[in-house]
Amino acid sequence: MPQSTEISSLTINRLSVYLRGLRALQSQNIQRISSSEMARRFQLSAAQIRKDLAQFGELGIRGVGYDVSHLRQKLESQLGLDREHRAVIVGAGNIGTALARFPGLNSGSFKVVALFDNDPSRIGDDLGELKVSSSQDLKAVVRETGAEMAILAVPAEAAQENYEALADAGIKAVLNFAPVQIKERPETRVKTVDLLIFLEELASTLR
């Protein structure tokens, strides 16, 4: 199996799209699928799919296609989703609170283990199974829980310093919702969710 660093971010995005499709197929009890049928469903080229899957040794059988369940497991393993990833959320405002309650963050590969805020009036608030913790306890909680990932849901002006605190605490990957570019440190990857991209894509369909 190639190292994940050899697989580009665009390929990972496509693998993630395939995985989502395969899960939908499984829920419809579809057991086999050809690359051309996958191409039609995922709006990609069949050649692209065969190339992506061949990279990690997955070859469809001509006339039969791929085994949906097996391919799903291979993709989950390739994407590192065959184990639980613990995450903390920094910022207990509207977005942080919504994410703490988001079902997909508390089942399958991800588990939110703590939610931090620096506003004393919020610390101690109950959010289902979680209580809002003080940002001062970040380092200790990350060490105790073994959290590797974080979601940054703080105002733009506080994003960089909170990213630094997460990196200092040993967090390896950060999903940033603040509308600002974070200066990345080599040991802690950051991905910014830019909601304007989705809106711009939608707007471009309005003529």
Task: Return residues touching a second copy (CB under 8 A).
Answer: 3-5, 7-10, 12-13, 15-17, 19-20, 24, 43, 78-81, 85, 87, 93-95, 97-99, 101-105, 109-110, 148-149, 172-175, 179, 181, 189, 191, 193-207
Shortest approach of a second copy to residue 61 CB, angstroms?
26
For the purposes of burial, counting CB atoms within 10 Å of the CB of 193, is it exposed (0-12), middle (13-18) or buried (19 or more)?
A: middle
Q: Which residue has the tokens 């992506």?
A: 52
What distance in Å separates the CA atoms of residue 142 and residue 187, rounded to the nearest whole number? 16
What distance in Å separates the CA atoms of residue 207 and residue 203, rounded to the nearest whole number? 8
Shortest approach of a second copy to residue 151 CB, angstroms?
8
| Other beta carbons within 10 Å of 181 | 13
Shortest approach of a second copy to residue 110 CB, angstroms?
6
Q: Pick between residue 64 and residue 131 the one whose CB is nearest to a second copy.
A: 131
Shortest approach of a second copy to residue 87 CB, angstroms?
8
Sign of CA dihedral 185, 99, 155, 140: negative
Q: Pick between residue 34 and residue 109 the one whose CB is nearest to a second copy.
A: 109
Q: Pick between residue 79 and residue 141 the one whose CB is nearest to a second copy.
A: 79
Tokens, residue 23: 């899960």
Q: Pick between residue 1 and residue 64 the one whose CB is nearest to a second copy.
A: 1
Shortest approach of a second copy to residue 191 CB, angstroms?
5
What distance in Å separates the CA atoms of residue 140 and residue 137, rounded to the nearest whole number? 5
